[in-house]
Amino acid sequence: MQKILIIGNQGYLGSHLSEYLKARNFDCKGIDTGFFKEGVITNADRVETRDLDARFVTAADIDGFDAVILLAGISNDPFGHMTAEQIYDPTRNYALRVAGFCKNLGIKFIYPSSCSVYGAAVDGRLLDEEMATNPQTPYSINKLQVEEGLREMADESFTPIALRFGTVYGMSSRIRFDLVINMLCGLALTTNKVVLNSNGEAWRPHLHIDDACESFRRCIDWEINSGELIVLNVGRNEDNLKIIDIAKMIHSMVYGSELTYLETSDKDSLIKDRKIQDGVDTRTYKVSFDKIHHILPGFKCKWTVEKGIKHLLGILKDIDLDKKTFNQREFYRLQQIEFLHKTKEIDDDLYWNR
């Protein structure tokens, strides 16, 4: 039984990944600082977890594992008076430090990057792993910085893997409602409105959470030693869709719902995306996913967006999702971090004060 360490196992993806791998006979352990620990919407499978900030992880903490998956990180842009450097420099530093430990110990290292590194592409081409990137946010820049560090670190003894995920959606015991499909499904069921916070014309690739987890699983089993960083886009070509088309799909599946747009006066809404100005989202891109289906043994995306939305709506109905639950702060990453900071539970460097 392979031993897997997930650093950041108490977030949206980490919680589901732990359960996914355990169900497939992997021995999973976790390390997490606990920012989102309480954001549980359904019973979470218990995974042995160390309460530890990723910045303090040592080589001894990962010794003995077959693979390390580093999910820990800040997935929001700066808030309050904090700069991008304050938010993201530590993330880059500890990601590469942990990768260095893995290299020295002969442990496989898998890093979740993002298709958002492609940023803005106006010509409509499907962008593959060899094409130029154009990140639009500090978050995306950070992902590329980590990739570059891993590229420099790779050699005949170390083949790290960076998985560039599409926008993930689907059910998790620690769900995020600040991801577009999850948000629109939650809105439709709790308000009978599918509310867009932009004009909806931006293109995005969408990825079911099970398919994201399957890509990790296949990478764990992959006996590869290329001596260089492997970068893989994760998703399906057919699931490059405009946000407006996603909204229309959900609108059609929830009887009596209304398709509408966020009022500009509703500036404090949980569903408002602060990166969108004047109703236009500059982050628009379509991505090619040919490479992963050609070279990663056994990998195949099983979920279409339509099938995944129907499945998610069914689960949310079964658990009787209501407005109170949908609006819980813990299910929105930026709002949860801001709350911890404003209440001085965490300091300006995002360390716990306790």
The CATH architecture annotation of domain 3-175+206-239+286-304+335-342 reads: 3-Layer(aba) Sandwich (3.40)
Q: How many Cβ atoms from other residues are within 10 Å of residue 221's Cβ?
A: 16
Exposure class string for 300-321: b at 16+ Cβ within 10 A, else e: ebebebeebbeebbeebeeeeb
- Give residue-wise pLDDT tens across range 251-265: 999 999 999 987 643
Q: What residues contact 314, with CB distance under 8 A and at least 6 apart?
A: none
Reply yes or no on whether the pLDDT at 345 is more than 80.
yes
- Every domain of the chain and the residues it spans: 3-175+206-239+286-304+335-342
Confidence of residue 277 (pLDDT cuts 50, 70, 90): very low
- Give residue-wise pLDDT tens across range 74-110: 776 656 677 788 888 889 999 999 999 999 999 999 9
3-class secondary-structure state, position 179: coil
Average pLDDT, rounded, for the chain:
91
Higher-confidence position of 229 and 122 = 229
Reply yes or no on whether the pLDDT at 279 is more than 60.
no
Mean pLDDT (whole number) for 298-306: 97
- Per-residue model confidence (pLDDT) at position 121: 73
- Give residue-wise pLDDT tens across range 234-246: 999 999 999 999 9
- Per-residue model confidence (pLDDT) at position 278: 44
